């Protein structure tokens, strides 16, 4: 009896492996290729002296509290703390638009904001700055640069996803979301640091 069960189990395993080998492989959708990074504008890249980036919905500022790479950006009440200071390095040009790298001011190494994916909900983290990577570039609607409310769009998503924080709570994480200008959580203002 035990021998018969062993043979049955062996036969079932062999038949199963034959059926699995005969099935066509399921193709997984591949991520579209990343775009080429923008190139420096003819006048060259420059770095501004520093600003805070304030969310219109919450009134709070973007922050990464450590100098550790891959730490997610969050929002926090605005203040004069150095971890809320960012510099815009650029412009870089692609597709007739100007793009910028957002560089943390008080880091032990140059760290830039990056979205590590190309789908809504992707976390926005800091990583060592590198102009060779398209995911480190951001398009800022003119209003965001001029001190009014505007969107900050990810170049890597072909400007379809924006930087947002989804709640008014301190420490709400910064993520990518569909760019919807009627929602204040996707609107940001640069506030000069004095």
In a domain, 4, yes or no: no
As a whole number of angstroms, the distance between CA 138 and CA 160 comes to 11
- What average pLDDT does this structure show over 55-69? 92
Q: 137 or 47, which is more confident? A: 137
Q: 66 or 6, which is more confident? A: 66
Cβ contacts of residue 83 below 8 Å, gap of 6+? 63, 64, 65, 104, 106
Which domain does 116 fall in, by range? Answer: 39-192
In a domain, 29, yes or no: no
DSSP single-letter state for residue 73: P
In a domain, 116, yes or no: yes
Q: Which residue, among 122, 162, 148, 141, has the nearest Cα to 54 in the 3D structure?
A: 148
Residue 14 has pLDDT above 80, yes or no: no
In a domain, 9, yes or no: no
In a domain, 2, yes or no: no
- Residues 188, 152 contacting (CB under 8 angstroms): yes
In a domain, 28, yes or no: no
In a domain, 14, yes or no: no
Summarised one tens digit per residue, pLDDT across range 108-144 is: 889 999 998 889 999 999 999 999 998 999 987 755 5
Q: Record the tokens describing residue 73, joined without a space.
A: 């950006």
Provide the number of structural domains found in the chain.
1
The CATH number assigned to the domain holding 100 equals 2.80.10.50
In a domain, 7, yes or no: no
Would you list the DSSP string of 110-133?
Answer: -EEEEESSSSTTPBEEEEE--TT-
C-beta neighbour count of 28 within 10 angstroms: 6
């Amino acid at each position: 009896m035990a021998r018969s069960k062993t043979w049955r189990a062996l036969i079932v395993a062999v038949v199963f492996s034959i059926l699995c080998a005969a099935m066509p492989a399921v193709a997984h959708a591949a991520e579209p290729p990343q775009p080429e990074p923008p190139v420096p504008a003819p006048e060259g890249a420059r770095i501004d002296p520093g600003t805070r980036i304030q969310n219109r919905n919450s009134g709070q500022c973007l922050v990464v509290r450590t100098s550790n790479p891959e730490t997610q950006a969050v929002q926090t009440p605005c203040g004069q703390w150095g971890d809320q200071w960012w510099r815009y390095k650029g412009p870089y040009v692609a597709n007739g638009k100007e793009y910028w790298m957002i560089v943390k001011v008080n880091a032990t190494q140059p760290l830039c904001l990056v979205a590590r994916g190309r789908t809504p909900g992707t976390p926005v983290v800091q990583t060592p700055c590198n102009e060779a990577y398209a995911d480190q570039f951001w398009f800022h609607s003119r209003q965001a640069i001029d001190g009014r409310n505007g969107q900050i769009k990810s170049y890597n998503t072909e400007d379809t996803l924006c930087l947002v924080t989804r709640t008014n709570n301190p420490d709400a994480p910064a993520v990518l979301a569909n760019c919807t200008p009627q929602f204040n959580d996707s609107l940001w203002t640069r506030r000069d640091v004095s």
